[in-house]
Every structure is written in structure tokens, then in C-alpha cells.
A = this chain, B = another copy of it.
Amino acid sequence: MGKREIDREYVETVVKVRYAETDQMGVVHHANYLVWFEVGRVAWCRDKGFSYADMEAEEGHYLMVAEAGCRYKSPARFEDEIIVRTAVAKATDRVIRYRYEIRSKAGGRLLATGETAHVVTDRSCRPSRLPERYRKYFFSETPAGADRG
């Protein structure tokens, strides 16, 4: 799959840095990037045509975080507008992998990259499978047989 197609897969959403997200270094505390990734996943779901809240509430299925990683390239600062770019890197009906880019809206500078892996679970945190009606959203991202893990 070419670079252009991968780029098109990213769903973008914007967050504005909150004062509470800064720390005494004067920049955004690094743990908040995981929260922004989560904001990115919710926007990704909306873009694909469903609500993550509904998937939890109506189907009782959760995408529990199993792994998270982030590489911080350049600090984000209070009141900066930040673009969170989210794409599915790999999906099965049991495990979903997302990847992220965090960019400054002014200038497009790359601030961070990251990835998360999620296990599909039921309400009791037990492994489960994606509900049938949700599979199309995740699998349309990755052609049959593709393995981009």
C-alpha cells in the first residue's frame, strides 16, 4: 500500500491545549498524549459512521487498551491547537491496532507519533470478538490478507 493511501486513512480532529494539561516544565505533560490518542479514536469512530459510546452501551463491547507507545518529538504548549491524526494499522475481530500523529495546527510540525493496541472485551474485561455489525468499520481499513502489524 502506497504512502498516499495510508495518508488518506488518517482521520483528523483538533484539540486545544488546556492549562491543566501543562506541567511545571511549561509544556504539555506527556501522559496527556494518551488522552489525545483516545480523543482521536473517538473521532475516528465518528468518521467511520458509529459511536464508540454506543458500542459500549448497546453492545457491551469494549476496546481495552493492551499496549500504548508514544515518541515525543517537540513539545506542545498552552493554547496551541493540535491536530490528532488517527488510523487503524491492523484489525482482527479480537485485536485492533491504531497509530497516531500529533501535529501542530499552525505549521503542521510533527510533535509526536504513537500507537495503541486494543483487545476486544465484554463488560467484565474478558476477551471477546467485535460485534458483527461493527466489523465493517474496522476491516474496511485493511484489505483481506493485509498484515501491517
Determine the distance from Cα of A25 to Cα of B123 in the docked complex, in whole angstroms. Answer: 7
Tell whether A18 pairs with B31 under 8 Å between CB atoms, given A23-B24, A24-B78. no
Give the size of the chain A interface in residues (CB under 8 angstroms): 38
Q: Which residues of B contact A70 (CB under 8 A)?
A: 67-69
Pair B38/A20 contact, Cβ less than 8 Å: yes
Interface string of A55-69 (1 = CB under 8 A from B): 010000010111111
Interface string of A11-39 (1 = CB under 8 A from B): 00000101110111111011110110011
Pair B65/A67 contact, Cβ less than 8 Å: no
Q: Which residues of B contact A27 (CB under 8 A)?
A: 24, 125
Q: How many copies does the complex hold?
A: 4
Interface of A is mostly: mixed
Question: Shortest beta-carbon distance, A114 to chain B, in Å?
Answer: 9
Q: Which residues of B contact A16 (CB under 8 A)?
A: 39, 42
Interface residue from B18, B22, B32, B39 paired with A39 (Cβ < 8 Å): B18
Pair B67/A72 contact, Cβ less than 8 Å: yes
Q: Name A77-101 residues within 8 Å CB distance of B.
A: 77-79
Pair B20/A35 contact, Cβ less than 8 Å: yes
Determine the distance from Cα of A51 to Cα of B78 in the docked complex, in whole angstroms. Answer: 10
Q: Measuring CB to CB, which residues of chain A are less than 8 angstroms from any residue of chain B? A: 16, 18-20, 22-27, 29-32, 34-35, 38-39, 42, 51-53, 56, 62, 64-72, 75, 77-79, 125
